[in-house]
Amino acid sequence: MAEVNLMQHYPAGKGRAADRPAITAEDQRISKQFGRDYFDGDRRHGYGGFNYHPRFWTDTVRNMRDHYQLPEHAAVLDIGCAKGFMLHDFQLLMPQARLAGIDVSRYAIENALDAVKPFLQVGNAKALPFPDQSFDLVVAINTIHNLPYAECKQSLREMQRVSRKHAFVMVDAFRNEAQRQAMLRWVLTAETMLSTSDWQKLFAEAGYTGDYTWWTVE
């Protein structure tokens, strides 16, 4: 288990609380449905339009492939795959790879990119519908923190179970009180927000031995 930033090429490396309109409990309720409003509705409820652009994932998936030295026929699982953008770029980079994606949002799966839609399904990170040791790389980017604490821990155990080699997570985290307060003003969907040290404790309790990095808000 190691802290390693495989997201350094992703354009939006850090959130800024000032970039999101003031949110309400109703905004959070709507966002947590993970429907059209979250992906393609008003910015106050989520992305404000969730569309594919190669600048987001092309360099990032190449970074992952090279870091983990994935073979051409590697099996890759994206937990919280949304519309399949990351898997699309994995497909372009590694056309012989076996890809799979899972997301709680039926809207996202139904509106996924056609090229990867056959590999995607609706499901929950706390109960992955795959056999043990199915994948060479299991990735969860800004996903498992949307579960309550106990289910978040279970999702880490599930990641560990289905991976035969590598795993990587990115989660909402804070290093100080200023970052914690900024995160409370920013976050729409997260149920588990922890300090970096508490996340590391949770990883250990769950038996998670994969890699990780943080999403912080300033």
Residue 117 belongs to a domain: yes
Name the least confident of 41-45, 98-102, 112-116: 41-45
Closest CA to 60 of 189, 159, 164, 168: 168
Q: Is the pTM of this model over 0.75?
A: yes
CA distances from 131 to 46, 134, 159, 169, 195 (A): 33, 6, 11, 20, 32
Q: What is the pLDDT of residue 14?
A: 46
- 176: part of which helix (H) or strand (E)? none
CATH of the domain at 201: 3.40.50.150
Q: What is the pLDDT of residue 185?
A: 85
Residue 9 belongs to a domain: no
Could you tell me what percent of the chain has a pLDDT over 70? 95
Across the chain, what does the average pLDDT equal?
Answer: 93
Residue 157 belongs to a domain: yes
CA distances from 205 to 67, 89, 151, 156, 196 (A): 26, 33, 13, 10, 14
Indicate the number of domains in the chain: 1
Q: What angle do CA 81, 82, 83 make, to 5 degrees?
A: 105
Q: What is the pLDDT of residue 12?
A: 61
User: Residue 35 pLDDT more than 90?
Assistant: yes
User: Average pLDDT for residues 40-48, to the nearest whole number?
Assistant: 91
Q: What is the pLDDT of residue 180?
A: 93
Residue 16 belongs to a domain: no
Closest CA to 169 of 152, 183, 182: 152
Q: Place 16 in a pLDDT band, splitting at 50, 70 and 90.
A: low
Domain extent for 131: 25-213
Looking at residue 176, its amino acid is N
Side-chain half-sphere exposure of 99, counting CA atoms within 13 A? 25
Q: Place 217 in a pLDDT band, splitting at 50, 70 and 90.
A: confident
Residue 102 belongs to a domain: yes
| DSSP one-letter string for 80-98 | T-TTSHHHHHHHHH-TT-E
Residue 20 belongs to a domain: no
How far apart are alpha carbons 46 and 27 in whole angstroms?
Answer: 9
Q: What is the pLDDT of residue 124?
A: 97
Residue 3 belongs to a domain: no
CA distances from 210 to 1, 54, 158 (A): 5, 26, 12
The radius of gyration of the chain's CA atoms, rounded to the nearest angstrom, is 16
User: Residue 201 pLDDT more than 90?
Assistant: yes
Q: What is the pLDDT of residue 10?
A: 84
User: Residue 128 pLDDT more than 60?
Assistant: yes
Q: What is the pLDDT of residues 147-193, one digit of tens each?
A: 999 999 999 999 999 999 999 999 999 999 999 998 888 889 999 99
Residue 13 belongs to a domain: no
Could you tell me what percent of the chain has a pLDDT over 90? 83
